[in-house]
Structure 1
Amino acid sequence: MLKVKLSQTTPNPLQLSLECLSGELHALVGPSGSGKTTALRTIAGLNHAHTGSIECNGELWFEANEINGASTSLSPAERSCGFLFQQYALFPHLSALDNVCIALHNSVAGLTERQAQASQWLNRMGIGELANRMPNQLSGGQQQRVALARALARSPKVLLLDEPFSAIDAPTRQGLYKTLAELRKDLNIPILLVTHDLREADLLADRITVIDQGVGLQTAPPQVLFKRPRNPRVAELVGISNKFEGVFTAGKLSWDRCDRVFEVLDKGKIPANTPVAWVIPADGLSLHQQPSASSIEAYVEQISALGQIAVIQLLLNNAAHTLTWEASAAEVKRLELEVGKNTHVQIDGSKIHIMPLRPINDPRRFTS
């Protein structure tokens, strides 16, 4: 297990606490410059935090406090991290085999044995026949597999992946996803993945930590994160488009600029008459041709076809709110949805998730 608790203010602010179990893939997501790569580099020992601790499998890699500074700080070599960089960082003058051999230089004495182990890793990555090629003779996906073989050859205790799939095409990316899934079963080590792709994080990760401005905002399994974000900023960063405001009192949520009141589960954590933000997931929405006592009339403002999926923009409550709904082309046809026509939206109050609403300059918006 990897346990990380870090705090620093300069040069790159970072307030982060997370755990990653052996065999678990934990994704770090957030906007560019949010601190994702800084977190990986700090865990690997390439950056140094002011205070906090890093522990792996019971071994303390780093510990520091504001009074005494760092009491423990292992070097990058001592931390046994396999680090896969976004740009691969292969040595251009060495073959694929020799690039992997570099990782074994300090742990395997004989050249023949180093080459044998490196060859095994290249075979495991499915590119054994490319051992003698130079990096410029390899495709992006092949270079990535060489870099991954090199990161794993020294039997690391933690694997750190810094946007490893961002520069390769979709079919190659799918192949690497499969390879990573197979490796997870065999390696049984913590894996931290930095990615800007929420779909990728949803597909691969057991848990996701959302980072913004160097602050870890929320850690949760994907199915929890995308339905129950901790606060409006998390909702924004994970791409929840249907986010609104209202007032919550004892299980009843009123909607700003709307006379509709929803019955919402009251967990007893929010005082009466509290302004809140709220979100509704896709499975909490349905469209109907005919009105009902609980439906809301909506005007179809825009329909954007994306292959077999259409994204529909709806204006509700006399254009007071905009709602986004996704459906198959067949569903759009069945409902006779057309730009300029009206339809009727049903919102399932049991699927609504409410969050405290904080002013933008209130630091508690990150934690409440």
Structure 2
Amino acid sequence: MLKVNIHRQKDFPINIQFACDLGELHVLVGPSGSGKTTALRSLAGLSDVSGLIQCQDQVWLDTTQKICVPTEKRSVGFLFQQYALFPHLTVLENVCIPLIARQVSSSDEGHRWLKRLRIADLANRYPHEISGGQQQRVALARALARDPKLLLLDEPFSAVDAPTRQNLYEALSELRQAVSLPIILVTHDLNEAIRLGDKITVIDNGVSLQTSAPQQLLDKPRNARVAELVGSPNLFRGIFESGVLSWGQAGLKLFVKDKGKIKKPTDVAWVIPSHSIEVINSDQDTHSYKNNLIDCEVIRVRQLGQIAVIYWQVKGCDDQIVWQASSNELKRLGITIGAHKKIYLDPDQIHIMPINPELIK
């Protein structure tokens, strides 16, 4: 397991904590300049930080014990965003560089990694003679040839086109089944993080705000800032007290599963996942719903292939609810611009959060 608890006060202050099990792919995600790459470089010993970094049975950093293992003695495979291949060396020679330091039979082991990454036929070519996706695989093979205890990936898919990116996703998936080590991936692409990550840590302004499984992160962000960073489309404000959420100027009442943590009327942020929003087809269907039915009007429909994004104006407040549905579902429910419908919000899925004053004024 990898355990990370690092901080720094000067220059760019950081306070980042997370853990990553063997065989797990852990994604660090956040806006540009948030501290993701600084965290990655800290693991490799390339950034000056304090705290604790422990990888499997080795302590690489423990400032309380005055331990700081230098970069060259940390067993780390690092895949840089720009690959950093040596242009004057062949593909095989690039992969064999770390093998020489390990005093391993470099040619045989290098070929083994090229075969594993499905690029054995490129062994005698030079970097400028192969595509960006192929260069990426060479760089990954070189990183793994070190037999590292930790693999670091710094936005490795940002410089390739969509088809190549898809192929690299598949290569990474296959690789995870063959090697059992912690993998830390940095990306600014939330969709990529959700697709690849077992766990995601959201970083903002040098601080780790939340670590969760992808679906939990989307459905239950820790606070309003996290909800904004992960692009929660239905992020609102209200007053919460004893299981009742008052929403909008008209004071719409929504019932929420009460965890008993808020004892008095409190200004809160709240979200609800799109999959927990139900459009009621007719007035007759409303009889089975006692609470959380709200009147809405369709004000915009944005078609995205077979999926449509519908914007509902909520009666009684200025907020709009965003909901996704298939084209067939739109036809079945008779959803067109100007249509009036009742929407049901699942009380078990409404998630109450503290307000970050910098986000919601």
Scaled by the length of structure 2, the TM-score of the pair is 0.94
Q: Give the alignment partner of residue 102 of structure 2, picking from 87, 98, 107.
A: 107
| Cα offset, 1:358, TM superposition | 3.6
- For 1:145 and 1:318, how far apart are their aligned partners in 2? 55
1:25 aligns with 2:17: no
- Tell me the residue number matched to 1:201: 193
SS in 2 for 1:354: strand
Aligned ranges 1:28-67 → 2 under 5 Å: 28-49=28-49, 51-64=50-63
Aligned ranges 1:1-368 → 2 under 5 Å: 1-49=1-49, 51-64=50-63, 71-108=66-103, 113-291=105-283, 292=286, 294=291, 295-318=293-316, 320-360=318-358
| 288-297 vs 5-14, greater mean Cα deviation | 288-297
SS in 2 for 1:98: helix
Give per-residue Cα distances to partners, 1:325-349, cap 9 Å, x unaligned: 1111111122222223323222111
- For 1:361 and 1:328, how far apart are their aligned partners in 2? 32
- For 1:179 and 1:231, how far apart are their aligned partners in 2? 35
Give per-residue Cα distances to partners, 1:305-358, cap 9 Å, x unaligned: 111111111111256111111111111122222223323222111210101224
- For 1:343 and 1:91, how far apart are their aligned partners in 2? 62
Cα RMSD, aligned residues only: 1.8
Shift in alpha-carbon separation, 1:310–1:345, aligned structure 2, 3 A: same
Q: Which runs of 5+ in 2 are unaligned?
A: none
| Cα offset, 1:105, TM superposition | 2.1
% same residue: 51
SS in 2 for 1:12: coil
Give per-residue Cα distances to partners, 1:268-289, cap 9 Å, x unaligned: 2222211111100012101234
- For 2:336 and 2:215, how far apart are their aligned partners in 1? 32
- For 2:200 and 2:42, how far apart are their aligned partners in 1? 18
- For 2:18 and 2:350, how far apart are their aligned partners in 1? 27
- For 1:203 and 1:282, how far apart are their aligned partners in 2? 18
- For 2:78 and 2:178, how far apart are their aligned partners in 1? 18
| Cα offset, 1:177, TM superposition | 1.6
SS in 2 for 1:247: strand
In the alignment of these two chains, the number of paired residues is: 354
- Tell me the residue number matched to 1:366: none
Give per-residue Cα distances to partners, 1:279-301, cap 9 Å, x unaligned: 00012101234344753222222
Give per-residue Cα distances to partners, 1:120-153, cap 9 Å, x unaligned: 1011100100111111111111010000000000
SS in 2 for 1:343: strand
- For 2:317 and 2:330, how far apart are their aligned partners in 1? 21
Give per-residue Cα distances to partners, 1:215-267, cap 9 Å, x unaligned: 00000111211111100000111110101111111112111324322221222
- For 2:147 and 2:171, how far apart are their aligned partners in 1? 17
- For 1:358 and 1:10, how far apart are their aligned partners in 2? 24
- For 1:32 and 1:129, how far apart are their aligned partners in 2? 37
Scaled by the length of structure 1, the TM-score of the pair is 0.92
Answer whether contact 1:12 1:38 (CA < 8 A) is retained: no
For residue 85 of structure 2, what is the amino acid of its counterpart? Answer: L
Q: Which runs of 5+ in 1 are unaligned?
A: 363-368
- For 1:344 and 1:85, how far apart are their aligned partners in 2? 51
For residue 64 of structure 1, what is the amino acid of its counterpart? Answer: T
For residue 115 of structure 2, what is the amino acid of its counterpart? Answer: N
Answer whether contact 2:85 2:127 (CA < 8 A) is retained: yes
- For 2:110 and 2:297, how far apart are their aligned partners in 1? 62
- For 2:242 and 2:315, how far apart are their aligned partners in 1? 24
Give per-residue Cα distances to partners, 1:67-116, cap 9 Å, x unaligned: xxx8111111111110111111111111111111112121126xxx2122
SS in 1 for 2:88: coil
